[in-house]
Structure 1
């Protein structure tokens, strides 16, 4: 399910099965569209769809921001619990078989999203549970509906966060708080998620997409090539040593100073100053 706009005619679109993709004003919006199963990531084509869009974004120069949201009342319920109960699909087989299905299945999402060059905003419209919570945490920013709920609920089912949740959550809110949420398996409301720093803001359901798009438009208005380089530096800055990081900054800055978008931005700033 892909909805094209005229500006996308020169950018081949990925063929999606269980999601919808739109592009408007340099903002790509990916909507998980399996509300019949609460946008479960397993037992659907959503893993393939998310990976395909992640790879497409990096090829498409028309995109400056990727927004991910869910159709219906749920952002994503994560894994399909019925499949777990019946040991079918992604959850069938012995230890080696299940491990390989994780590698070839849901673990492709964090690997693909980690490589996305543009900012990612999760518009959390409803419950984000288990791997659905982890998917939201793979984004650079999260804005939530007041109806959203969040839960790292794997232990409640006798399993671990197999998609990398233990990696993402503690980097977002610190080890101790992430430990408590993961080990208790409790589900929290949107306001508590904001208090912990999981989400940037909480708004009423009818205002969610307008709020997210306003934030996305602010980012999309920035020079696009410098935006991609800045995101890369932000992702690397938390784990890099200072000296090699500064060397990379110097090279990236050299690239920026030689891009036409830099002079356009500088001239626009000078014109604005002259009008004051």
Structure 2
């Protein structure tokens, strides 16, 4: 079987593609979860990677959990209530933890439906752009379920409590234009231009020193749960680290000398 995650690299930008188009890139098996978690670990330890694009193969971004597996009580959905609880905790819930801790910026290039856990996966990314043909649903209630992978925490932080409540409690699908209005995505593209545009944004991020983008992302994530005073203290610490990097000195020299910088990821 082909790998669930196809990884391609061009310079400091990595593109990761969910690769189960026949299953609309559903997230069900432990191997699928582990592929994403392991990928995050590899990216985290490679300081030369400065941006990631996450997309889906075929017509969908990610359809969430496989409903056929739910019916058959297989994969993630196998076992008694205690076993199911542990399967969620040690399985799919490791993905939001891994992506949340990943300091490299991640852009979701949403090429088609992002449904249930697929929508949550998009919300775990830092930026989201979408094809005009994409669609979105927080559809757990339609199956008598609740968001099991962090969506109740993620979605309100992306689009606000009221709109997140509307999407979560109705389970209704919204189109790409509505997603743009909600702030769920930052821009729309024609389908054929989506990946090019996502990689262009990734390239603009990657043109900056990796330590600066990683620390800035980390700071913004930590700031969501800290007081202003605590964020200022953390900002001072991160800034002190940044001032003592080679690439900071190179950036300052390049600015003053009016030339393109040459960063070395150190």
**Per the alignment, in what secondary structure is the counterpart of residue 169 of structure 1?**
helix
1:86-119, CA deviations, whole angstroms, 9 ceiling, x for partnerless residues? 1222112221111111111111110111110111
Q: Which moved more, 1:24-33 or 1:237-246?
A: 237-246
**Per the alignment, in what secondary structure is the counterpart of residue 188 of structure 1?**
strand
| Kept in 1: contact 2:108–2:127 (CA 8 A) | yes
Question: Of the candidates 94, 102, 109, which is equivalent to residue 123 of structure 1?
Answer: 109
Distance 2:9 2:123 in 1: 23
Q: How does 1:162-177 map to 2 (within 5 A)?
A: 162-177=148-163
Q: How does 1:125-164 map to 2 (within 5 A)?
A: 125-164=111-150
Question: Of the candidates 47, 63, 66, which is equivalent to residue 80 of structure 1?
Answer: 66
Q: Between Structure 1 and Structure 2, how many residues are aligned? A: 259
TM-score of the two chains, using structure 1 as the length reference: 0.91
RMSD over aligned Cα atoms: 1.4
CA deviation after TM superposition for structure 1 residue 43, in Å: 3.5
Aligned counterpart, 1:6 = none
Unpaired segments ≥5 residues, structure 2:
260-266
Q: How does 1:1-276 map to 2 (within 5 A)?
A: 17-43=3-29, 45-272=31-258
Distance 1:218 1:88 in 2: 43
**Per the alignment, in what secondary structure is the counterpart of residue 75 of structure 1?**
coil
TM-score of the two chains, using structure 2 as the length reference: 0.94
| Kept in 2: contact 1:25–1:217 (CA 8 A) | no
| Kept in 2: contact 1:43–1:80 (CA 8 A) | no
**Per the alignment, in what secondary structure is the counterpart of residue 45 of structure 1?**
helix
> Does 1 or 2 have the higher relative contact order (CA < 8 Å, sep 6+)?
2
1:110-159, CA deviations, whole angstroms, 9 ceiling, x for partnerless residues? 01111101111000011100100100010001000111110000000001
Distance 1:244 1:174 in 2: 23
Unpaired segments ≥5 residues, structure 1:
2-15
